[in-house]
């Protein structure tokens, strides 16, 4: 009997010992992510063991109410997930079988920077690891301008760039790649990130590069200083001509690149908009994925019989996004191509949805529209918008704190209209509509996910 007892004791100890050998591991170095893109936060169990039957949690240990993602009882359970991460996190359930609990975080933003804890728990053991995320925002291409001559004919050059995060390095290089000393340096930080400005005086003909770089990214601009610039430095007319030519060239380069980088900046605030079918007018059809809405040929009779009506538009053919926002900047894009009457923007949580809706800020609606081939904003009255081209995709940017709602033609990134100095005191929701009664165009409005 004693032998049996000792044998069981040894086996029990061996089992406990084996369970204690499992370890949750993450990367030793920080994970770098680019704003607007997706990133994988690595986390796995060593030695490899399936975690399908275990509890897997991701959180922000430095924040209150910090649940980022939770997997338990073979499914994701994100009821208590932080609103900021709704629709942006994903575990690969097939990889869980191989002990891989890495988290995919979509549409990275600056606020995603920080420490994340990956916690895995079974019936017999638990462990966790920390992943440090660093976010980088690639700013605008550097611009070189000529800022005059010194007393000996040296050509003053100024290079500046903005919209970076974290603070970038700026350096001057000659044609051989040798670093040149900046004479003055300036760095500023605002809501758009860091801006840097350095000056340098060129004293002979050369190809001079201005390079701005982060750990993983670099943008560069070149200026060629010729002997004619230095020979004629005493002639103001020539100086002005050189400045004008350089300015024109810089302007052309900036015009080519501004669309790309303005779009990238706005898309750092992109949110995953899902349309809420429970708010849709009975004549509207919301697709299963919540990304498209179109007119139906007849009202949905099942809505009238069984669904609650208190939150649904019953006259104006509108629909809201499922999630509202009340504390930060956010941005989304809507494809309007092919539709001849539409209204879109944002609306307050308590705004009226019944009867003839008044689409103005005083009634909780901030929108632009197309009707009868005319584009309008609806501020104090219907203000006509004089656009050079017809937008195919409209971007909506909201700065909740400042009270700004801005609309862009996405293809050209040109401003359509901006509501400024508004007062928001409740959640505001994305809003789409196909008008009142006479719209026979069945082309859908589409929430865009392809950038």
For 139-189, the pLDDT digits (tens) are: 888 999 887 787 777 888 999 999 899 999 999 999 888 899 888 899 998
Model pLDDT, residue 290? 94
Q: Coil, helix or strand for 128?
A: strand
Strand order from edge to edge, sheet including 342-348:
318-320, 428-433, 342-348, 365-371, 374-378, 382-385
Alpha-helical (H) ranges within 140-235 are 227-231
d(CA 162, CA 142) in angstroms, rounded, equals: 8
Model pLDDT, residue 299? 60
Segment (H or E) for 448: none
Model pLDDT, residue 70? 97
Q: Domain 21-136, what fold?
A: Immunoglobulin-like (2.60.40)
Model pLDDT, residue 246? 57
Segment (H or E) for 443: none
Model pLDDT, residue 24? 96
Phi, psi of 434, deg, nearest 5: -115, 25
d(CA 169, CA 182) in angstroms, rounded, equals: 12
Q: Domain 270-447, what fold?
A: Jelly Rolls (2.60.120)
329 contacts 400 by C-beta, under 8 angstroms = yes
Residue ranges, the chain, pLDDT below 70: 1-20, 227-262, 298-310, 380-382, 451
As a CATH number, domain 143-256 is 2.60.40.10
Model pLDDT, residue 310? 55
Question: pTM here?
Answer: 0.47
Segment (H or E) for 335: strand 329-335
Tens of pLDDT, residue by residue over 54-99, are: 999 999 998 887 899 999 999 999 999 998 899 999 999 999 999 9
Q: For 308-449, where are the E strands, in sequence order? A: 318-320, 329-335, 342-348, 365-371, 374-378, 382-385, 393-399, 404-409, 414-419, 428-433, 445-447
Q: Give start-end residues of each CATH 2.60.120.920 domain in the chain.
A: 270-447
Task: Look at the chain and count its residues.
Answer: 451
Q: Give start-end residues of each CATH 2.60.40.10 domain in the chain.
A: 21-136, 143-256
In 3D space, the residue among 449, 431, 394, 173 whose CA is nearest the CA of residue 284 turns out to be 431
Residues 6 or more apart in contact with residue 335 via CB below 8 angstroms: 392, 393, 445, 446, 448
């Amino acid at each position: 009997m004693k032998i049996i007892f000792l044998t069981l004791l040894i086996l029990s100890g061996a089992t406990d010992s084996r369970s204690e050998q499992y370890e949750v591991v993450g990367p030793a170095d920080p994970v770098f992510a680019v704003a607007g893109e997706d990133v994988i936060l690595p986390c796995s169990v060593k030695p490899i063991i399936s975690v399908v039957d275990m509890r897997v949690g991701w959180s922000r240990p430095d924040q209150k109410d910090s649940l980022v993602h939770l997997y338990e009882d073979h499914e994701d359970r994100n009821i208590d997930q932080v609103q900021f991460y709704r629709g942006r996190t994903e575990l690969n359930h097939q990889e869980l079988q191989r002990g891989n609990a890495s988290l995919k975080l979509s549409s990275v933003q600056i606020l995603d920077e920080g420490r994340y804890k990956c916690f895995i728990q079974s019936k017999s053991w638990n462990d966790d690891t920390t992943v440090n995320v660093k976010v980088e925002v690639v700013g605008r291409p550097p611009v070189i301008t000529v800022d005059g001559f010194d007393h000996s004919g040296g050509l003053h050059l100024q290079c500046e760039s903005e919209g970076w995060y974290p603070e970038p390095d700026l350096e001057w290089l000659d044609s051989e790649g040798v670093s040149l000393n900046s004479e003055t340096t300036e760095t500023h930080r605002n809501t758009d990130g860091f801006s840097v400005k350095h000056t340098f005086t060129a004293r002979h003909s050369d190809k001079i590069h201005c390079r701005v770089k982060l750990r993983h990214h670099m943008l560069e601009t070149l200026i060629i200083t010729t002997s004619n610039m230095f020979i004629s430095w005493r002639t103001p007319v020539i100086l002005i001509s050189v400045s004008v030519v350089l300015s024109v060239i810089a302007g052309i380069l900036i015009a080519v690149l501004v669309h790309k980088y303005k779009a990238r900046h706005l898309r750092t605030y992109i949110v995953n908009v899902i349309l809420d079918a429970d708010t849709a007018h009975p004549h509207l059809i919301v697709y299963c994925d919540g990304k498209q809405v179109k007119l139906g040929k007849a009202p949905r009779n099942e809505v009238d019989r069984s669904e609650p009506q208190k939150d649904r538009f019953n006259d104006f053919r509108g629909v809201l996004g499922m999630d509202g926002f009340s504390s930060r900047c956010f941005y989304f894009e809507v494809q309007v191509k092919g539709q001849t009457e539409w209204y879109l923007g944002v609306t307050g949580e308590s705004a009226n949805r019944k009867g003839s809706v008044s689409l103005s800020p005083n009634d909780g609606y901030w929108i632009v529209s197309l009707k009868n081939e005319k584009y309008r904003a609806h501020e104090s009255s219907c203000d006509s918008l004089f656009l050079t081209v017809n937008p195919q995709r409209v971007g909506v940017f909201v700065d909740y704190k400042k009270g700004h709602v801005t609309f862009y033609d996405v293809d050209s990134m040109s401003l359509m209209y901006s509501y400024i100095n508004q007062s928001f005191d409740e959640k505001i929701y994305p809003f789409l509509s196909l008008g009142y009664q006479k719209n026979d165009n069945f082309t859908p409005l589409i929430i865009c996910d392809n950038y």
